[in-house]
């Protein structure tokens, strides 16, 4: 497999040689770095790469060039190679133009010239851009192969687990890819054996559980210490923030995550209103950074373990895993977030994971190339998903029960959704049925105003509705409202929870009805349901954990 290309362009030959030299010095082992000295030359090279089906990972362009500016060039690059990362080299006077280009052409980053020293200014930015590109193109970097069926629930579960845990893999469909069918035949695999996961060291997994898959890939699935200062259940923004702050302050910290770090936020194609990231960043990127940061400070991450019970053992709080195993800690943080509410309509349950999906990772949009996609929901997650799918799908239909998007979606997303030429918004509408034999083939959409409905062809239905916490594992000791959200702090002083707090002191702000057990993020009653607020609550919880530990 040929190396992906990094293409540079600057009309000053000295600068062109310098940027090419610096990039080649760091990335030459994994990428082919090509330098050009004009926009015309860069477009000619790009055209040749496209014709030869060669991957282009990054295009780095100067802004001020004769005949064509860097932004004008990168706009044409975006049309020819939509998934390439774009980096603009510019002067301070052009920063306003560069910032506008983030919205206008999807510029990924701009960097002020000069970039010396590259180790401080050029490489950190480029590392992030190339890491994002590699995550979106696992077939370019991985020999891990997954052989399965497009409409298989277990295959979808496996792909989702690998994607969300940043494990590169190459997907081979037994029906659509000749190699996939050949490998299934060589392995003697029947329908019940799919998916096959072919690990490079020769291990072949047949329809593995996520725990078996994690073990085979060397992901940590068991805790290393007998007792922790803090056990965090849930690896979303709140849990990861708590892990960073707790571990950095010397607390023995472990995070338990059933699926993959990031939670719902980790599946977002772009989080554009998070402080400090003007271009926005993907949920996967934010998660990857947070996991690395927590690990750097010594926090442990235990994956693919389903927590099914909770016990109080004197000063120790214990969580029990499905099957066997447990973790004991002196304090506990519940940060399990919420899951999307199930769509109650005939045919939906039967076709789940066979065309009907709850949530979607950014990488799933590519499998919908040229198809029609239906997205149900009107919150930010639904808007971001619709925009992501619109980059690949023929048409995206956003089905919204309300009379307007503005009630539940941020204004910047509303504007972008309305501006997208291949996104149709159907207000006052709902999906009332799903149809198909072995996979989704049609949906019935009803107009809530007129009462009429129509059956429409569809292969993909992605659902982003409601918020449903999974807190039944907490048992009766932890007070929850009728919907399952955890009651904390001053809310424990109000009816009907006033008799649940056992101590003379008042509960701390994020403390539950069990002293030493805290809750943060979306799982908590009346939380804001925003990434930034979840991160803030996770950090705040560590301060309260310190206060609690000082009393026992």
Q: Where in the chain is the domain with CATH 3.40.50.2300?
A: 5-138
The SS3 of residue 60 is strand
Consecutive H or E run containing 326: strand 326-329
What are the beta bridge partners of residue 356? 352, 461
At the top level of CATH, the class of 230-339+468-549 is: alpha beta
pLDDT digits (tens, 9 = 90+) for 76-123: 999 999 999 999 999 887 888 888 898 889 899 999 999 999 999 999
CATH T-level fold of 356-463: FAD/NAD(P)-binding domain (3.50.50)
pLDDT digits (tens, 9 = 90+) for 404-462: 999 899 999 999 999 999 999 999 999 999 999 989 999 999 999 999 999 999 999 99
Chain-centre distance for alpha carbon 380: 14
pTM: 0.81
Q: Where in the chain is the domain with CATH 3.50.50.60?
A: 230-339+468-549, 356-463
pLDDT digits (tens, 9 = 90+) for 278-336: 878 888 889 988 999 999 999 999 999 999 999 999 999 999 999 889 999 999 999 99
In whole angstroms, what is the distance from residue 46 CA to residue 80 CA?
A: 8
pLDDT value at 363 more than 70:
no
In whole angstroms, what is the distance from residue 526 CA to residue 480 CA?
A: 12
Start-to-end CA span in the chain (Å)? 59
Phi-psi region of 523 (alpha: psi -120 to 50; beta: other; left: phi over 0): alpha
CATH architecture label of 142-216: 3-Layer(aba) Sandwich (3.40)
CATH number of 5-138: 3.40.50.2300
Hey, which bits of 96-152 come out as E strands? 109-112, 145-148
The SS3 of residue 474 is helix
In whole angstroms, what is the distance from residue 542 CA to residue 476 CA?
A: 25
Q: If 0-12 CB within 10 Å is exposed, 13-18 middle and 19+ buried, where does residue 551 land? A: exposed
pLDDT digits (tens, 9 = 90+) for 493-519: 999 999 999 999 999 999 999 999 999
47: tokens are 């055209």
Handedness of CA 370, 375, 378, 384 (dihedral sign): negative
Which one is predicted more confidently, 517 or 169? Answer: 517
The SS3 of residue 424 is strand
Binning pLDDT at 50, 70 and 90, where does residue 201 land?
Answer: low
Strand order in the sheet with 429-435: 429-435, 442-447, 453-457
In whole angstroms, what is the distance from residue 145 CA to residue 136 CA?
A: 16
Nearby residues of 50 by Cβ (< 8 Å), 6 or more positions away: 56, 80, 81
Residue 370 CB: number of other CB atoms within 10 A? Answer: 8
Average model confidence (pLDDT) across the chain: 92
Binning pLDDT at 50, 70 and 90, where does residue 129 land?
Answer: very high
């Amino acid at each position: 497999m040929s190396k992906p290309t990094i293409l540079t362009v600057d009309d000053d030959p000295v600068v062109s040689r310098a940027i090419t030299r610096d990039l080649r010095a760091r990335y030459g082992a994994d990428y082919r770095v090509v330098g050009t000295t004009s926009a015309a030359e860069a477009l000619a090279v790009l055209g040749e790469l496209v014709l030869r089906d060669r991957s282009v990972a990054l295009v780095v362009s100067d802004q001020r060039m004769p005949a064509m500016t860097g932004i004008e060039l990168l706009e044409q690059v975006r049309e020819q190679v939509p998934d390439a990362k774009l980096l603009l080299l510019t002067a301070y006077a052009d920063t306003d133009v560069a910032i506008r280009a983030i919205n206008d052409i999807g510029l990924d980053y701009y960097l002020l010239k000069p970039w010396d020293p590259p180790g401080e200014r050029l490489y950190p930015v480029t590392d992030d851009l190339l890491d994002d590109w590699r995550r979106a193109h696992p077939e370019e970097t991985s020999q891990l192969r997954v052989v399965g069926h497009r409409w298989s629930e277990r295959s979808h579960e496996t792909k989702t687990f690998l994607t969300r845990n940043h494990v590169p893999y190459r997907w081979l469909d037994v029906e659509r890819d000749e190699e996939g069918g050949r490998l299934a035949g060589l392995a003697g695999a029947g329908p019940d054996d799919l998916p096959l996961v072919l690990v490079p060291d020769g291990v072949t997994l047949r329809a593995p559980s996520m725990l078996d898959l994690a073990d085979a890939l060397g992901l940590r699935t068991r805790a290393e210490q007998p007792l922790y200062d803090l056990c965090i259940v849930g690896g979303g923004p709140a849990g990861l923030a708590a892990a960073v702050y707790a571990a950095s302050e010397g607390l023995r910290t472990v995070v338990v995550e059933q699926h993959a770090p990031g939670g719902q936020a980790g599946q977002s194609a772009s989080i554009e209103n998070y402080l400090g990231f003007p271009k926005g960043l993907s949920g996967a990127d934010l998660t990857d950074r947070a996991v690395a940061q927590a690990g750097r400070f010594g926090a442990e991450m235990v994956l693919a373990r389903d927590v099914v019970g909770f016990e109080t053992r004197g000063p120790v709080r214990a969580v029990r895993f499905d099957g066997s195993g447990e973790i004991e800690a002196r304090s506990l943080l519940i940060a399990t977030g919420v899951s999307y509410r199930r769509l109650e309509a005939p045919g939906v349950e039967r076709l789940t994971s066979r065309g009907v999906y709850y949530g979607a990772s950014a990488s799933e949009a590519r499998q919908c190339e040229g198809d029609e996609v239906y997205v149900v929901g009107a919150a930010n997650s639904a808007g971001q998903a619709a925009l992501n799918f619109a980059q690949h799908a023929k048409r995206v239909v956003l089905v919204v029960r309300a009379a307007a998007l503005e009630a539940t979606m941020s204004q910047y997303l509303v504007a972008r959704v309305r501006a997208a030429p291949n996104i149709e918004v159907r207000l006052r509408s709902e999906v009332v049925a799903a149809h198909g034999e072995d996979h989704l083939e049609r949906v019935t959409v009803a107009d809530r105003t007129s009462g009429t409905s129509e059956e429409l062809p569809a292969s993909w239905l992605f659902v982003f509705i409601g918020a449903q916490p999974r807190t039944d594992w907490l048992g009766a000791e932890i007070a929850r409202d009728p919907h399952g959200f955890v009651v904390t702090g001053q809310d424990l002083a109000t009816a009907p929870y006033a008799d649940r707090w056992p101590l003379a002191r008042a509960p701390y702000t994020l403390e539950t009805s069990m002293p030493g057990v805290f809750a943060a993020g979306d799982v908590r009653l009346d939380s804001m349901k925003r990434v930034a607020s979840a991160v803030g609550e996770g950090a705040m919880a560590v301060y309260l954990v310190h206060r609690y530990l000082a009393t026992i």
